[in-house]
Amino acid sequence: LLFVQDATGFVNAGLLDGDADAARALERWLEAGYSVGDHTYSHRSLADLGLEGYLADIERNEPWLTRAYARTRQTSRYFRYP
C-alpha cells in the first residue's frame, strides 16, 4: 500500500469554474492536507498571450488559490509554468 505524505497540486481554476466534480476533487485534496500551487487560470502559453495577458491569467487564478491557502493555512506559494 502506498501512502503519499506530501504533495502539491497545481490548480487551473478555469477547469474548476462550472465543474462541480472538479471543484469537489480540489476540496478532497485540501481536506487531505495537501498543498496547492498556481498553474494559471486557462493553461495558455506565455507565447500566445504576451506578458500582460499572461500575468492577468495568473491573477485570475488567485481567488481560488486564496480560498485554498486560507483553508490549509499554507504559507509557501508555488507557481508552475504550463
Each residue's pLDDT tens digit, 32-67: 989 999 999 999 999 999 999 999 999 999 999 999
Rounded CA-CA distance 39/51 in Å is: 15
Residue written as cell 500500500? 1
User: If you average pLDDT over residues 13-38, what whole number do you get?
Assistant: 93
Average pLDDT score over the chain: 91
pTM for the model: 0.82
pLDDT at 5 over 90: no
Residues 72, 11, 23: CA angle, nearest 5 degrees = 75
Rounded CA-CA distance 6/46 in Å is: 29
AA identity, residue 33 = G
